[in-house]
Structure 1
Amino acid sequence: MGAEKMDRIGSLPEEVLSHILSFLTTKEAAITSILSKRWRNLFTLVPNLDIDDSVFLNPEEGKRERDGILQSFMDFVDRVLALQGDTPIKKFSLKCKTGIDTDRVNRWIRNALQRGVTSLELVLDFPRHGDDSYMYLLPVEMFVSTKLVELSLRSDFGVDWWRGGTNTFLPMLKTLTFESKWILLCDDLEVFLSAFPLLEEFYMADIAWPETDESVSSQSLRKLTIHACGFEDFQNPMSISFDTPNLVYLAYSDYVAADYPKVNLPNLAEALLDFKVTGHQIDLIREPDDEDEVSLRLGNVWKLISGLRNVNKLFISAETLEVSCYFPKRQMFLK
């Protein structure tokens, strides 16, 4: 019965089989090549590649040492890409950590871009060198792709997005995800977002703002999520503006900024707010130099909240309510 079921599966069209294999990791899909002669090269037709070095770095007992495993992983990826040739690819997911040759990583990414990848997920944890002068650089070709629709970047050690990419323009990008404490941008956020004219979803997590004035400005953006971790030893953000007239969803977790000079959110339907105060702000509250300074550094949060007047759903964290207790009473009413 088992053989009959296998025969039934094996008799399916190649397009169906390759679609089934697309739900597996690339290593699992490659293993199916031993099933029979017909399956030998089917995995090379899979339009999705899911490459994860942890599959190799958690081997069964008795396997080779780490260096040998890393080399085996890199050779495996090279072979897979060589076997696939220039067949089109839809999604490329790459998860790599310390020890992988970054030049080869960039070659793999370029390969996916040249084959018209539309969804690119990169989880790359390459630490800086001891002098902090080096950070892994993404390939320049990624900054000018005319095919990318979804892009996700995650790293514990940082992403140098903009270096070498000052001419960035991704005309088809609709979803952008950042999860990293260190994201180096050559220009401010407003200029950065202008490189994505069709962007609809922007997700930033575990980020720390630079000590500058920032503006989230986009005519196309519909969903925005900001989870800023910040650093207790730093001042709170300088100022943050929101000029996103078509935004319908906002999730915003951050330290209270000194000011929110522009809040243009006329179509916002749902908002989640989670504000915190820095140690410096608490010191001002406990021992203010003068009352106006406290008002300036805390009261301006109501400029943002007043801009949410059209929302249907508003979720406010308990910490945000606690922060609101610091505000002067005259600023605690929405206008």
Structure 2
Amino acid sequence: MSDCENEKRLKKCDSFQREDKISNLPEAVLCHILSLLSTKEAVRTSILGTKWKDLWAVIPNLEFDFKSMYHPHGIYSDSKEKLNKFMNFVERGLILRDGLNIQKFAISCFEIYDFPYIYAWISNVITCNIQEIDIQLSVHPYAQLPWSLLTCRTLVTLKLSGRFVLNVPSSIHLPSLKILHLRSLIYLDDVSIEKLFSSCPVLERSGRSKERLGQRTILHCFCAIAKKIIFTNLPHLVEADIDVQRPRMSDVDSSTFAKRVHNLLPRISNVKFLLLSTHTLQVLGYYHGYNIPKFHNLVHLKLGVDRHHAWRLLPNLLVNSPNLEVLLFEEGLVHVENLDDYYPEFSSMLLEVPACVVVHLKAIEIYKLVGTKDELKLIQYFVKNATVLEKLTIRCHCLNVVWNIRDKLLTFRDELRKSSWGSSSCQLKFII
């Protein structure tokens, strides 16, 4: 290539660099472009030039994930040094923000020891008309959240996971909060829990949490079961995820503890989506003198596996969910760790079929099938009586190859197909 051609090529490159049309766009447009990226990707644009250097800090969502930023492949090394870099990075991002509105602030880190920084960051974002806060930390030792978090008028979504002490102030009000997820928090007393829920007038969804009272684990669920239920009703709640386990060292007998959990159900009876975990079904089964409340709005019910009570609660749940459309057994129909396990007989279902099964039930999904007669018995009950059923999905246990039960499962599928079906249009999806 001649010197003349080289010169022309260099001039063309130089002209292209001078005509950086993207960088010349208005800052508002550039910010919108960056808002479509993750915080990690937005930060990488800093190398594009002076104009881009700190532009990432003014995007609506600030999301800081220590693992994805410094250990994307799960290999941890020099974690203390990188942790310091991570904290400095978060600090710089909030300083550059300088009071501008923030739509979402999310931070996830497996080990932060300097909690005063976290306290300051939360206090900072609360002043920026924040709408969503998602904090996942393993702070050491336990740390108290700033009271200002519980008086944030703009907050719509609050997700907290970590060893935080929730000491609720006397004046608390979260008028805009619709979604609340709490996990592994410590409540100092029952009054704090009552204040929290009663101060969220438009709460629509609560997520699973794990709470402690003092040093005693009392449940896994979206609220606490202590000496008594003191919650008022939650009429705006749309989704509830209940995972309750009685402490092994509890001084409360199983029946009394189960009664407390039962007392919670009427307060969430307006939900549309409900999950009752394996532990919850076990606890509820210990109390024999209580009827399930009516869940008139419930359309989607997700259940764990009833290990000990042979699905004795299932008929009651179906009768009291008259508009149920989707039924999901996410842990299977029988609890099995090996094929020598004892399978309890299912309780006999009602002769008078629940209205939801006949009129509304459209989809059933079952996981971890192992091909027992008990499983076939219950599934046949549903397919016979569910006259509007559109889809039945069955996923066999992932260890079916190890246990060498593939032929057994194929036989199960064939027997099910030959069963009496109330719906002529139902599609069976059988996954081995």
**Superposed pair shares fold, TM > 0.5:** yes
- Matched residue SS, 1:18: helix
Match of 1:291 in 2: none
Match of 2:177 in 1: 173
Question: Which one of the candidate residues 225, 235, 250 is aligned to 1:219?
Answer: 235
1:264, 1:243 → 2: CA distance? 11
Match of 2:88 in 1: 75
Question: Which one of the candidate residues 202, 213, 228 is aligned to 2:206?
Answer: 202
In terms of Rg, which structure is larger?
2
Q: Percent identity?
A: 25
State the Cα deviation string for residues 86-109 of structure 1 (Å, max 9, x = none): 111111011133244101111011
1:97, 1:26 → 2: CA distance? 19
State the Cα deviation string for residues 18-64 of structure 1 (Å, max 9, x = none): 1222344445433423321221332232121112233565399xx99
The reply on whether 1:187 has 2:190 as its aligned counterpart is yes
The reply on whether 1:315 has 2:323 as its aligned counterpart is no
1:15, 1:149 → 2: CA distance? 25
1:66, 1:217 → 2: CA distance? 46
Match of 1:159 in 2: 164
The reply on whether 1:269 has 2:299 as its aligned counterpart is yes
**Structure-2 change in CA distance of 1:127 and 1:91 (3 Å):** same
Partner amino acid, structure 2, of 1:186: D
- Matched residue SS, 1:8: coil
Partner amino acid, structure 1, of 2:42: A
Match of 1:20 in 2: 33
Match of 1:289 in 2: none
Match of 1:290 in 2: none
2:325, 2:69 → 1: CA distance? 48
1:318, 1:332 → 2: CA distance? 27
1:106, 1:303 → 2: CA distance? 47
- Matched residue SS, 1:49: strand
- Matched residue SS, 1:38: helix
Shift in Å, 1:113 = 0.5
State the Cα deviation string for residues 236-283 of structure 1 (Å, max 9, x = none): 644332334542221221233244566242121221222545xxx78x
Shift in Å, 1:312 = 2.2
- Matched residue SS, 2:139: coil
2:352, 2:148 → 1: CA distance? 49
The 8 Å contact of residues 173 and 199 in structure 2, kept in 1 or not, is answered as yes
Structure 1 window deviating more from structure 2 (300-309 vs 71-80): it is: 300-309
**Structure-2 change in CA distance of 1:171 and 1:59 (3 Å):** closer
1:50-129 correspondence to structure 2 within 5 Å: 50-55=63-68, 57-58=70-71, 65-128=78-141
The 8 Å contact of residues 249 and 269 in structure 1, kept in 2 or not, is answered as yes
Partner amino acid, structure 2, of 1:160: V
1:53, 1:114 → 2: CA distance? 24
The 8 Å contact of residues 120 and 150 in structure 1, kept in 2 or not, is answered as yes
Task: Please list every run of 5 or more consecutive structure 1 residues that lacks an aligned counterpart in the other structure.
Answer: 129-134, 286-297
Task: Please list every run of 5 or more consecutive structure 2 residues that lacks an aligned counterpart in the other structure.
Answer: 1-11, 212-218, 336-342, 356-432
The 8 Å contact of residues 276 and 320 in structure 1, kept in 2 or not, is answered as yes
The 8 Å contact of residues 56 and 70 in structure 1, kept in 2 or not, is answered as no
The 8 Å contact of residues 216 and 242 in structure 1, kept in 2 or not, is answered as no
1:216, 1:226 → 2: CA distance? 17
**Structure-2 change in CA distance of 1:273 and 1:302 (3 Å):** same
Partner amino acid, structure 1, of 2:283: V
Match of 2:283 in 1: 256
Give the count of matched residue pairs: 306
2:316, 2:196 → 1: CA distance? 24
1:174, 1:331 → 2: CA distance? 41
The 8 Å contact of residues 190 and 226 in structure 2, kept in 1 or not, is answered as no
**Structure-2 change in CA distance of 1:66 and 1:310 (3 Å):** closer
The 8 Å contact of residues 33 and 39 in structure 1, kept in 2 or not, is answered as yes
2:331, 2:93 → 1: CA distance? 51
Partner amino acid, structure 2, of 1:202: S
User: Root-mean-square deviation (CA), in Å?
Assistant: 3.9
1:142-153 correspondence to structure 2 within 5 Å: 142-153=149-160
